[in-house]
Amino acid sequence: MIKIIKKLGEGTFGKTYLVKYKDKKYALKVEYIENNEKNKNYKNKIMRELDLFNYISKLNNEDKSFFVNLYNFEINNDCYQNITEKSKTEKSKLCVKYLMDYCGKYTLDKYESKYNLSKKRRLSIILQLIKIILILYKGGYSHNDLHVGTNIMVTKTKKKYFTLNNYKVPYYGIQCVAIDYGEVTHERFGINYKKHPYKRMFSIDKDKHVFTEIFICTYRLLSSYEEMIYDCINSKKKNFWEDEK
């Protein structure tokens, strides 16, 4: 039996709880279902999330560790949400429940605020975020909402290195995990984001989109440590800037 310990967060469409099941901690996400999400096709956000979870489950162990694993999900009628005027949903008792990995209490934003990140750790985090985006990109996906505020968690790790483009990159004791896949997209979903130029870019120019996604996700970490970039540019590697940009 699942025991709820406390609420971790709350959004427009649901809540996430820290729960205990068989002496292990998990995150339980309870998301309310809109009337237009009852169809079993990719117009349904639930189906898109489950599609990504299926992709994650087939990754190798290293790549899988950058995402949350889904252990169980169910749709039932025991949910209720008070809908505000800002929400375009209708009142519904239907919800979907996801039982997933619990990644601790620190978003990247909170972790960065509490701890003074060394240059090495900051660079490792940047490269981890790039790896996350490229893992999804390889499978034809885009997270579409990856940012340091709420959708990237930081956990401790005893692993020494991860691989990026055949290079071993040190973790320095911390690992980033991407969460919240509600905005995920894939070409086969057939969604045309007419009112969202950034998301629409995915179907027009995937290379440009993945570059933009990397930039949006990492620019704050980079801008916080301009000295680190200058150190690299002024290093013995004369072509650093041309190679890296």
- 116 and 175 both lie in a single domain: yes
| CATH number for position 187 | 1.10.510
- 236 and 123 both lie in a single domain: yes
- 2 and 41 both lie in a single domain: yes
pLDDT in tens, 25-81: 999 998 877 655 556 677 788 889 999 999 999 999 999 999 999 999 988 776 644
- 186 and 244 both lie in a single domain: yes
Domain that holds residue 39: 1-102
Contacts of 16 (CB under 8 A, 6+ apart): 7, 8, 9, 10, 27, 28, 29, 30
Q: Going residue by residue through the chain (245 aa), what tens digit of pLDDT does each one get?
A: 888 899 888 776 778 899 998 889 999 998 877 655 556 677 788 889 999 999 999 999 999 999 999 999 988 776 644 433 334 444 556 788 899 999 998 999 899 888 888 889 999 999 999 999 999 999 999 998 888 778 899 999 999 999 998 999 999 999 999 999 988 998 888 877 777 777 778 878 888 888 888 888 888 777 655 555 555 555 555 554 455 44
- 51 and 155 both lie in a single domain: no
pLDDT in tens, 16-25: 899 998 889 9
pLDDT of residue 190: 81
Distances (CA, A) of 221 to 22, 34, 144, 218: 38, 36, 18, 5
| CATH number for position 60 | 3.30.200.20
Best CA proximity match to 140, nearest among 189, 211, 70, 198: 189
- 13 and 96 both lie in a single domain: yes
pLDDT of residue 131: 96
pLDDT of residue 78: 64
- 110 and 62 both lie in a single domain: no
Contact 190, 42 (CB under 8 A): yes
Phi, psi of 132 (to 5 degrees): -55, -50
- 180 and 127 both lie in a single domain: yes
- 96 and 190 both lie in a single domain: no
Q: Could you say which of 71, 102, 133 is where a domain stops?
A: 102
CB atoms within 10 A of CB 23: 5
pLDDT of residue 61: 95
Q: How many domains does the chain have?
A: 2
C-alpha–C-alpha distance, residues 180 and 238, integer Å: 40
pLDDT of residue 43: 74
pLDDT of residue 59: 97
Q: Could you say which of 102, 128, 160 is where a domain stops?
A: 102
- 92 and 119 both lie in a single domain: no
- 63 and 111 both lie in a single domain: no
pLDDT of residue 86: 38
Q: Could you say which of 102, 126, 146 is where a domain stops?
A: 102
What is the helix, strand, coil percentage profile of the chain, to 5?
Answer: 35, 25, 40
Count of helices and strands (H, E) across the chain? 8, 11
